[in-house]
């Protein structure tokens, strides 16, 4: 039986010899490569924390001691050591979550994958324990160098430093990378600290040799130690953490279990906040990860473990389409600049950065800063495009509201991963952006239905200079183009059943240029109006065909610019007996709610049937599985509409 198979709880580590611990680390690495290659997941980050996680569990006694993993994507080894070794369905329905999960284990505390929160969590836990009179327990946060660039981390460090007797251990997992190499002054500082590692090595050599020499040994060693401290201060004059008043230990080799356990025991027994700086390698032990330039296999799909090459070939993604259009705009408009929060490649800014290196700003994992800096860029005559995952904009709401919108700054937000993402679990779904932005005065929000509309919306957005604009699209491959039969203003008519005289029910060829027909009649009475929002447009078109078979007249529209609600959409809604809005967003406070509110404000309240996501945190599963669970499929939408209509139709 493998050593790994013999580990069912952290205490099982205690009986292992150093050689066995090293063997276990090798077994875990081999397991991760084999298993995550089959399922996809955060292979690189977890290969980098094998020894570190083992050392944490050797020194601290989870769950009596609390161990918080920042961002949570580095929790695989922790799971393996806490009784969860079936990774066959990792991040799939019914399988292990890709992040800590309280439902899975008492050892798991923070499930949310939003970076930079671990120190606040840990400080709160430590303070709460102290108030509860608990003694002898420890609280540990494991935070990456990338997450350490987040504002929340520094808010916490500032506060923690004021509590010199708070028993709190902060393990900095420094692999020099977020996805790409970590940016900013902190990254440079950590690099300097890493450079002093050689002094640690000299010091430990001194501890082993000089101090053992008879008589002069100890004095010579103390002289060396003093020199080392002095040299360290010269090389790293501002040992940031120590200047904050925090005890700093390190840097240590984050793959040396013995060195780590020694340091962690010192930290545990210190009795106050201690930072233990561990230097690790993302993708350690797997050459394809180590050699992967973009992100050292930060998050892989299904790959061939022998070659490291992907086994799943995806179609052209929404992100790629955005990237191409932004580069075109960049050629035409030198005022357009781009901003990312440590996700240059995932959000599609690589090509723009290569073409215009001076016009891209990677601010680290700092979305709030990114947003307000964008307001400043706009004030200075640039037009910033802030490319960000929908879910991560949540934390920058105040900056959108009070920096960009209040000052009417022309800033464009491009939200990738909007709607259901699925496999990354509840904290990654971008299902709240309409709700958040619908209350922002002056913002204009677009939900393009396909790649072509994304390009059009982006161009329209960067042309707006008197307030923020935002467009959002989902994860993955872009759909087949969804053609329109007519257009009025920003509203596209995608289908009509029956078709007006001389008009096709539905245009098959999306390449047909749609003329804007201001006189297009939108107020012809119709039984059903379906509003297909963004990527749900095709669902609306398909559902309309089924509804029409029941004898009802149906019109399908795509508002394109969904907020604020347009007069054209209000006109279309007033002409219908039944209005349904289909959106990849929480049904509560989405576009359906905004339409209902707008109708009510005009004194013509009308029931708007909202087809959206439940106001729940959705467990990890495939995107299409979750959309189906929510009834966001054409057959289910059609069935619900006809069930309401039929009595009236009979």
Ligand X SMILES: CC(=O)[C@@H](O)[C@H](O)COP(=O)(O)O
Ligand Y SMILES: Cc1ncc(C[n+]2csc(CCOP(=O)(O)OP(=O)(O)O)c2C)c(N)n1
Binding-site sequence positions: 73, 113-115, 145-147, 175, 286, 367
Quick check: is 200 catalytic? no
Active site residue 331: no
Stretch that binds ligand Y, among 71-79, 213-221, 324-332, 439-447 (CB under 6 A): 71-79
Q: Which of 525, 528, 578 is nearest to 556 (CA)?
A: 528
Q: Is 196 in the site for ligand Y (CB under 6 A)?
A: no
| DSSP single-letter state for residue 274 | E
Give the footprint of ligand Y on residues 456-495 (CB under 6 A): none
- For residue 177, indicate whether it is catalytic: no
Please identify, among the stretches 91-99, 145-153, 583-591, 622-630, the one whose residues bind ligand Y according to the rule CB under 6 A: 145-153
Q: To the nearest whole angstrom, how small is the minimum distance from the Cβ of residue 189 to Mg ion?
A: 14
331: left (phi over 0), alpha (psi -120 to 50) or beta: alpha
State which H helix or E strand residue 76 sits in: helix 76-81
Q: Which of 146, 346, 422, 451 binds Mg ion (CB under 5 A)?
A: 146
Residue from 37, 39, 62, 71 that binds ligand X (CB under 6 A)?
71
Binding flag, residue 113, ligand X (CB under 6 A): yes
Distance CA 155, CA 173 (A): 19
Q: Which is nearer to ligand X, 298 or 585 (CB)?
A: 298
Q: Does 254 bind ligand X (CB under 6 A)?
A: no
Q: Which of 90, 157, 249, 343 binds ligand Y (CB under 6 A)?
A: 343
Cβ distance to ligand Y smaller for residue 256 or 452: 256
| Out of 41, 44, 72, 144, the residue judged to bind Mg ion by CB under 5 A | 144
> What DSSP line would sit under 304-328, residue for residue?
-TTT--BS-----BHHHHHHHHHHH
Report d(CA 474, CA 391) in Å as an integer.
11
Instruction: Map the footprint of ligand Y across residues 377-436, applying CB under 6 A.
Output: 392
Considering only residues 65, 108, 123, 145, which one is a binding residue for ligand Y as defined by CB under 6 A?
145
Core vs surface per residue 112-148: b (16+ CB within 10 A) or e: bbbbbbbbbbbbebbbebbeeeeeebbbbbbbbbbbb
Is the Cβ–Cβ distance between 440 and 400 less than 8 Å? yes
Q: Given the complex with ligand Y, which of 181 and 622 has the nearer CB atom?
A: 181
**Binding of residue 73 to ligand X (CB under 6 A):** yes
Among 145, 362, 433, 492, binds Mg ion (CB under 5 A): 145
Select which of 84, 177, 232, 395 is catalytic: 395
SS3 536: helix
Q: Does 346 bind ligand X (CB under 6 A)?
A: yes
Q: In whole angstroms, give the CA distance from residue 169 to residue 126.
A: 10
Dihedral angle sign, alpha carbons of residues 38, 41, 42, 44: positive
The item of ligand X, Mg ion, ligand Y, none sharing an interface with residue 397, based on CB under 5 to 8 Å by kind, is: none
Question: 367, 382, 417, 583: which is the annotated catalytic residue?
Answer: 367
Which among 141-149, 311-319, 540-548, 607-615 is the span making contact with ligand Y, rule CB under 6 A? 141-149
Read off the tokens for 132: 């509860």
Distances from the Cα of 62 to the Cα of 9, 57, 127, angstroms: 9, 7, 18
Please, are residues 133 and 240 in contact by the beta-carbon 8 Å criterion? no
Residue 365 in contact with ligand Y, rule: CB under 6 A: yes
Calculate the alpha carbon distances from 493 to 202, 453, 487, 518, 569 in Å. 73, 14, 6, 12, 10
Residue placing its CB nearer to ligand X in the complex, 226 or 310: 310
Tokens 């509860």 belong to 132
Task: Please give the annotated binding residues for Mg(2+), written as ranges.
Answer: 145, 175
Choose the one of ligand Y, Mg ion, ligand X, none that binds residue 475, judging by a C-beta under 5 to 8 angstroms depending on kind.
Answer: ligand X
3-state SS, residue 633:
coil
Using CB under 6 A as the binding rule, the residues of this chain from 391 to 450 that contact ligand X are: 417, 421, 424
Q: From ligand X, Mg ion, ligand Y, none, which one binds at residue 74 (CB under 5 to 8 Å depending on kind)?
A: ligand Y
- Taking alpha carbons only, the member of 301, 389, 286 closest to residue 344 is 389
Q: State the catalytic residue, choosing from 29, 84, 177, 282.
A: 282
- Provide the 3-class DSSP secondary structure of residue 508: coil
From Mg ion, ligand Y, ligand X, none, interface partner of 45 (C-beta below 5 to 8 A by class): ligand Y
- Helical spans, DSSP H, in 417-468: 433-437, 451-462
- 167 lines the binding site for ligand X (CB under 6 A): no
Query: Which of 84, 91, 177, 298 lies at the binding interface for Mg ion (CB under 5 A)?
Result: 177
**Site of interaction with ligand X (CB under 6 A):** 71, 73, 113, 298-299, 346, 417, 421, 424, 475
Residues labelled as active-site residues: 282, 367, 395
């Amino acid at each position: 039986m493998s050593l790994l198979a013999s580990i069912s709880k952290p205490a099982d580590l205690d009986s292992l010899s150093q050689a066995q611990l090293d063997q276990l680390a090798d077994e875990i690495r081999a397991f991760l490569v084999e298993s995550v290659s089959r399922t996809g997941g955060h292979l690189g980050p977890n290969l980098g924390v094998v020894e570190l996680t083992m050392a944490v569990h050797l020194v601290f006694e989870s769950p009596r001691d609390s161990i918080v993993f920042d961002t949570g994507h580095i929790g695989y080894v922790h799971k393996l050591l806490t009784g969860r070794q079936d990774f066959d369905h990792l991040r799939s329905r019914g399988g292990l979550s890709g992040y800590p999960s309280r439902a899975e284990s008492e050892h798991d505390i923070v499930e949310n994958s939003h970076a930079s929160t671990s120190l606040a969590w840990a400080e709160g836990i430590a303070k709460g324990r102290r108030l509860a009179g608990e003694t002898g327990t420890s609280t540990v946060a494991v935070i990456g160098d990338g997450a350490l660039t987040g504002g929340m981390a520094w808010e916490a460090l500032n506060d923690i430093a004021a509590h010199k007797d708070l028993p709190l251990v902060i393990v900095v997992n420094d692999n020099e990378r977020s996805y790409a190499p970590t940016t900013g002054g902190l990254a440079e500082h950590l690099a300097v600290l890493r450079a002093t590692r050689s002094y640690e090595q000299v010091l430990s050599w001194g501890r082993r040799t000089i101090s053992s020499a008879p008589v002069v040994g100890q004095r010579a060693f103390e002289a060396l130690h003093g020199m080392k401290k002095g040299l360290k201060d010269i090389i790293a004059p501002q040992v940031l953490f120590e200047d904050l008043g925090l005890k700093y230990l390190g840097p240590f080799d984050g793959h040396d279990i013995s060195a780590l356990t020694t340091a962690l025991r010192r930290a545990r027994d210190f009795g106050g906040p201690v930072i233990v700086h561990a230097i690790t390698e993302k993708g350690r032990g797997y050459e394809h990860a180590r050699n992967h330039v973009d992100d050292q296999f930060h998050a892989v799909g299904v790959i061939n473990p022998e070659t490291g090459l992907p086994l799943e070939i995806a179609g052209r993604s929404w992100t790629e389409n955005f990237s191409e259009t932004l580069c075109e705009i960049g050629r035409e408009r030198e005022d357009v600049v781009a901003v990312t929060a440590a996700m240059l490649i995932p959000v599609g800014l690589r090509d723009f950065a290569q073409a215009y290196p001076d016009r891209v700003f990677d601010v680290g994992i700092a979305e709030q800063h990114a947003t307000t800096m964008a307001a400043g860029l706009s004030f200075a005559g640039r037009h910033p495009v802030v490319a960000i995952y929908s879910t991560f904009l949540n934390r920058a709401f105040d900056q959108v509201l009070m920096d960009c919108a209040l000052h009417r700054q022309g800033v464009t937000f491009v939200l990738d991963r909007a709607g259901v993402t699925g496999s990354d679990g509840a904290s990654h779904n971008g299902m709240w952006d309409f709700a958040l932005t619908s209350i922002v005065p002056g913002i204009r929000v677009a939900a393009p239905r396909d790649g072509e509309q994304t390009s059009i919306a982006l161009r329209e957005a960067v042309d707006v200079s008197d307030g923020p604009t935002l467009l959002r699209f989902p994860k993955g491959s872009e759909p087949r183009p969804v053609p329109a039969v007519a257009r009025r203003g920003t509203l596209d008519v995608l289908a009509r059943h029956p078709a007006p005289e001389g008009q096709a029910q539905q245009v098959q060829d999306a390449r047909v240029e749609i003329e804007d027909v201001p006189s297009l009649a939108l107020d012809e009475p119709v039984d059903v109006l379906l509003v297909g929002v963004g990527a749900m447009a095709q669902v609306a078109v398909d559902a309309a065909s089924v509804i029409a078979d029941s004898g009802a007249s149906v019109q399908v529209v795509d508002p394109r610019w969904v907020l604020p609600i347009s007069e054209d959409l209000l006109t279309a809604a007033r002409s219908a007996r039944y209005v349904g809005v289909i959106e990849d967003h929480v049904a509560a406070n989405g576009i359906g709610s905004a339409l209902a509110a707008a109708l009510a404000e005009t004194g013509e309240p009308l029931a708007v049937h909202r087809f959206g996501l439940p106001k729940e945190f959705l467990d990890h599963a495939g995107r299409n599985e979750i959309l189906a669970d929510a009834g966001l499929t054409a057959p289910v939408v059609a069935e619900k509409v006809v069930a309401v209509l039929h009595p009236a139709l009979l």
